[in-house]
């Protein structure tokens, strides 16, 4: 395992955690168009977390991670389950 793995995985979790407050809206409060707003917020947070960690994320990692999280939550997964699933998938796909 790479020594940078923990920093990258932590940076992946930060945007997911920050977007969770918006993604946790009750089903009937989820307005059309919220997906784009949540994704933008998630990507901004992801990029900030990676910069703070001094890392350059692999191309597509932020988009993938945020899309994964949003899809998981919309499918009924808990925030914790969505985080765990997406962290694992991103680490596997991006070879972290």
pTM of the model: 0.65
pLDDT in tens, 3-29: 455 555 555 555 555 444 444 455 545
pLDDT of res. 84: 83
C-beta separation of 9 from 91 below 8 A: yes
Give tens-digit pLDDT for 29-58. 555 567 888 788 878 877 887 788 888 889
Secondary structure of the chain in HEC code, one letter for each residue: CCCCHHHHHHHHHHHHHHHHHHHCCCHHHCCCCHHHHHHHHHHHHHHHHHHHCCCCCCCCHHHHHHHHHHHHHHCCCCHHHHHHHHHHHHHHHCCC
Distances (CA, A) of 20 to 32, 51, 59, 65, 75: 17, 20, 23, 13, 14
Q: How confident is the model at residue 1 (pLDDT cuts 50, 70, 90)?
A: very low
User: Quick one: pLDDT at residue 14?
Assistant: 54
């Amino acid at each position: 395992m790479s020594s940078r793995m923990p920093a990258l995985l932590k940076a992946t979790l930060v945007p997911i955690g920050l977007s969770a407050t918006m993604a946790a809206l009750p089903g009937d409060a989820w307005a059309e168009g919220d997906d784009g707003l949540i994704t933008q917020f998630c990507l901004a947070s992801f990029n900030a977390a990676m910069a703070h960690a001094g890392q350059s994320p692999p191309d597509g990692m932020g988009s993938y991670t945020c899309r994964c999280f949003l899809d998981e939550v919309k499918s009924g997964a808990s925030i914790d389950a969505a985080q765990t699933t997406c962290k694992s998938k991103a680490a596997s796909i991006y070879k972290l």
